[in-house]
């Protein structure tokens, strides 16, 4: 019997990187990303609320969440964790999903990459934490890569709103 290893998806193209200095200790910022009840308080674009938050935090585990948009529609997402190094790094594969956790296309951008490699870095800087987020599409088609790279401005806007929600949460969290 011949066995062949499955080819692991590989990132391709230009990387999207965004960073923010947060006025909170690194352990608290890391906890905000690794505890589902904390994620529920702030995760997602500005104006969205988390309606479901289930996490199995381990390499090979997942975070499955649902969000309610300002217009009332629901949107689902899923992380599959590859690496968790407390309190400095999380690497995961990010995708849109359905309510059952199956991978789906972006509900408003059908040529968006199906899966993304996401790296979250947490670094102590002064009395705060520098959070850096890196995104790359995994095995994208040329069209998906082009859609991703054309979306850097909207990703910056979306992440800026998410950072604002995180900052609001961190200001009152313990």
Q: What is the pLDDT of residues 106-149, one digit of tens each?
A: 988 999 999 999 999 999 999 999 999 999 999 999 999 999 99
Structural domains present in the chain:
16-172 (3.30.530.20)
Three-class SS state of 66: strand
Say if residues 49 and 67 touch (Cβ distance below 8 Å): yes
Q: Does the predicted TM-score (pTM) go above 0.95?
A: no
Closest by CA to 164, choosing from 47, 62, 56, is 47
Give pLDDT < 50 ranges for the chain: 1-8
Q: What angle do CA 134, 105, 133 make, to 5 degrees?
A: 10
HSE-CB for 107 with a 13 A CA cutoff: 11
């Amino acid at each position: 019997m011949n066995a062949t290893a499955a080819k692991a998806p590989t990132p391709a193209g230009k990387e999207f990187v965004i960073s923010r200095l947060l006025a909170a200790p690194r352990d608290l910022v890391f906890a905000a990303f690794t505890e589902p009840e904390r994620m529920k308080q702030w995760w997602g674009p500005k104006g969205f609320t988390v309606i479901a938050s289930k996490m199995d935090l381990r390499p090979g585990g997942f975070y499955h969440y649902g969000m309610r948009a300002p217009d009332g529609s629901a949107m689902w997402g899923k992380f599959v964790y590859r690496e968790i190094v407390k309190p400095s790094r999380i690497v995961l594969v990010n995708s849109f999903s359905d309510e059952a956790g199956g991978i789906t296309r972006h509900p408003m951008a059908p040529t968006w990459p199906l899966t993304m490699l996401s790296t979250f870095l947490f670094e102590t800087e002064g009395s705060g934490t520098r959070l850096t987020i890196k995104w790359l599409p995994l095995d994208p088609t040329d069209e998906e890569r082009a859609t991703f790279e054309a979306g850097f401005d909207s990703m910056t806007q979306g992440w800026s709103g998410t950072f604002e929600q995180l900052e609001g949460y961190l200001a009152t969290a313990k």
